[in-house]
Amino acid sequence: MTRNAAIVGGGTSEWGERDATWKDLAQEAGKATFDDVPDLAPGDVEGLFVGAVQPERFAFQSHVAPVVAELLGIDASMISRTELACASGQAALRYAWLAIAAGQLDIALVIGVEKMNLGTEYMPEMQSNMTNVLDREFDGVNGLNGPSHFAQFAQRHMHEHGTTREQLAMVSAKNKRHAAETDFAQYQQKVDVDDVLDSYPIAPPLNLLDCSGITDGATGLLLVSDEKARELTDTAAYITGSGQSCLSSNSINNLPSLTTWPQAGEASRKAYDQAGIEDPLDEIDVAEVHDCFSISEIIEYEQLGFAEEGKGGQFVEDGRSQLDGDVAVNPRGGLLGCGHPLGATGVNQALEIYRQFAGDVPDARAVPDSPETGLIHNLSGSGSVHSVMTLARDPQ
């Protein structure tokens, strides 16, 4: 049995450096989600899928899916916590979609939660926790972390393809401009290219404003069967395709390249094939991609089929990823603007696509001409795994 599944609403907590606990964040997002879909209540939920990366270290709590179920009053017949580093939220959404498509569930709640800020006195522990998503024994202990790793990609991309420091800054300036119109975002201050270039150097050529933040936040989605979606709303977002790729390259010495991610290309091809997409640049209206660092978005343009390899920098410089460009990329502000609470990011990206379809975003960051198709993308770990999902207003 194979059925369509659709997002019919969702909600989010405020993102940033919060005094709230992990449980508080889960409850905030859960309440906001059910407030957004008043015809569904916790008692209607049959499946619960929680994306969370390191609650054991950040919140000293494991077995978190039953914790969320108890907090929100859910008696689920299917329950799970997913962990895939920065793609944990999209993984949770994918499993909920598959369960509905298989006829196991009609209504599922997907929620991503991360509590990452422990206070400035615990900054060494926070940074140490982050290296866990790399191969800690071989890469983490040798000083490799997010900024230094992605700086290697930026340096090599600039060397091989002529990508400029200004093009990197254009990504950040664009996304932070969008985040200034996003009410829950961690960073809501507009910056220009010069501000990015003048910000504190972190790992050359990446400066502070080229890097996403350490973020507390949570987001929930309600996913239902096609039949149920038609009962609930006229503005659902149907999942049309999903792809994932891991090329046995978790350690940096096994990565196939330092200028590109063939895993992203393979994952997107799988999703496009399933969705019947032949020309993503022409057929995708809005995309939420994993801009954990400014170089990431440039490489993703290339691997997702928006730009030729090596031309991602020119793609942003030419304005082709602006709201009125060929494909609107990261209209909510991306990770650079909204922040990156690891387990919540993929869930929030999907919520943004749903809201763009529904026209439920501020005019200043609304994609023109009522978008019909969307995409979310996450990379995880060292970039060894990439996940892509396509969505549409109407089912196939």
Tokens of 358: 């529904």
- What are the CA-CA distances from residue 375 to residues 19, 101, 242, 352 (Å)? 32, 19, 10, 10
CA 247 to chain centre: 21
Q: Are 238 and 5 in contact (CB under 8 A)?
A: yes
Q: Are 151 and 69 in contact (CB under 8 A)?
A: no
For this structure, is 211 an active site residue? no
Neighbours of 206 (CB within 10 A): 26
- The residue from 157, 178, 290, 340 that is catalytic is 340
Per residue, the 3-state secondary structure of the chain, as one string, reads CCCCEEEEEEEECCCECCCCCHHHHHHHHHHHHHHHCCCCCHHHCCEEEEECCCHHHHCCCCCHHHHHHHHHCCCCCEEEEECECECHHHHHHHHHHHHHHCCCCCEEEEEEEECCCCCHHHHHHHHHHHHHHCCCCCCHHHCCCHHHHHHHHHHHHHHHHCCCHHHHHHHHHHHHHHHCCCCCCCCCCCCCHHHHHHCCEEECCEEHHHECCCCEEEEEEEEEEHHHHHHHCCCCEEEEEEEEEECCCCCHHHCCCCCCCHHHHHHHHHHHHHHCCCCHHHHCCEEECCCCEHHHHHHHHHHCCCCCCCCHHHHHHCCCCCCCCCCEECCCCHHHHHCCCHHHHHHHHHHHHHHHHHCCCCHHHCCCCCCCEEEEEEEECCCCEEEEEEEECCCC
Q: Whole-angstrom Cα distance, residue 315 to residue 301?
A: 8
Neighbours of 136 (CB within 10 A): 12
For this structure, is 86 an active site residue? yes
Neighbours of 364 (CB within 10 A): 12
- The residue from 86, 211, 292, 338 that is catalytic is 86
Catalytic amino acids? 86, 340
